[in-house]
Amino acid sequence: MKRLFLAVLSFFSVITYAGSNVLNIYNWSNYIPTKVIRLFEKETGIKVYYSTFENNEALYAKLKSAPNSGYDLIFPSTYYVQRMADEGLLEPLKLSRLSNFNYLNPRLLNLEYDPHNRYTIPYLWSTVSILVNDRYYNPKSIHEWSDLWQPRFKGQLLILDDVRDTFSVALRVLGYSINDRDPKHIYQAYVLLKKLLPNIRLFNQDGILPIYLDGDATVGMIYSGDGYVLHNTDPRLQFIYPKNQVIMTMDCMAIPKGAPHLNNAYRFINFVMQPKISAMISEGIGYSTPNLAAVKLMPKADQESRIMNPPANVLDGAQMESDVGDKATAVYMHYWEMLKLSA
């Protein structure tokens, strides 16, 4: 009975798959410029479907709950790659199929989260820093993360809706590593963040741009990509690197296991690694490209932009987010939920 049921179902799902020349992308919102997608569609004749998730936890939950999720290409952050790979959720990559691989910055390859880039290709990297609207507060009065706890910011902060990014801030203030696995330290970070709650106006991840532009939040955390776009749109929105406390993140391209359109996924990855496309993506979204050749193609202003291509000294003491293992991740998630409930 169940088999008959499933047979009827698969019949229907075949109908809705709209042919085989398709690529199902599951990504952060607004993370690939429409221009680039259209160029890809034009060049290859492959139709691209773009679905979005809000954060890595949602991505992970979706893949786990539906192993035949139907997605061909996903964009996890570094700290979820290892966990997904260990749980067999990712398709191992044949780097020989990616001819444009050599354009990438070697310093961002073969890192701890994915040795030898067995499963992922770096897509865009960014820093997490502070944004302030100088109509409300003097940027020079803010130097480091702990400044956000000042009472003058009551109800003004936008805090990123990402457990790792936000806990990293508290961990840095406490002097710990952002990849700390010690439950006691995580608890201390939670307590510290609870003290920040009166200042927090909202947690947000996707709709950051209009919130800062409209003044619905006047200071808070920001990704460098968004900061780049915001500063260009309204120069009174200033980007501040907290001294020695910069947090780095990177998002990668990966293929989920059992992806229905494997070849199309490879084609897209390779397409994206072309220097001119990679430059287009970085310019379009504001995040930093791992593609060295692409940087050289950018206009001078961007090559020298402190936000998009920060000089090395700014990144002194910066830490990159990586996986902390199942146990610690569960602890983080638990306190993250408690934090939100405590608001």
Nearer to another protein, 133 or 278 (CB): 133
Q: How far is the CB of 278 from another protein (least distance, A)?
A: 24
Q: How far is the CB of 293 from another protein (least distance, A)?
A: 31
Q: Which of 322, 330, 323, 255 is nearest to 83 (CA)?
A: 323
Crossing angle, helix 34-44 and helix 275-285, to 10 degrees?
150
Q: How far apart (Å, rounded) are the C-alpha atoms in residues 233 and 108?
A: 30
Residues that bind another protein (CB under 8 A): 2, 5-6, 9, 12-13, 15-17, 24, 26, 29-30, 49-52, 54-55, 57-58, 61-62, 64-66, 68-71, 155, 159, 197, 200-203, 206-207, 209-211, 213-217, 233, 326, 333, 337-338, 340-343
Q: How far is the CB of 201 from another protein (least distance, A)?
A: 5
**Which residues, 6 or more positions from 33, have their beta carbon under 8 angstroms from its beta carbon?**
280, 281, 284, 285
Q: How far is the CB of 312 from another protein (least distance, A)?
A: 33
Q: How far is the CB of 161 from another protein (least distance, A)?
A: 10
What is the Cα 171 distance to its own chain's centre? 19
SS3 category, 33: coil
Nearer to another protein, 1 or 312 (CB): 1
Partners of 296 in the β-ladder: none
**Which residues, 6 or more positions from 153, have their beta carbon under 8 angstroms from its beta carbon?**
137, 199, 219
Nearer to another protein, 12 or 175 (CB): 12
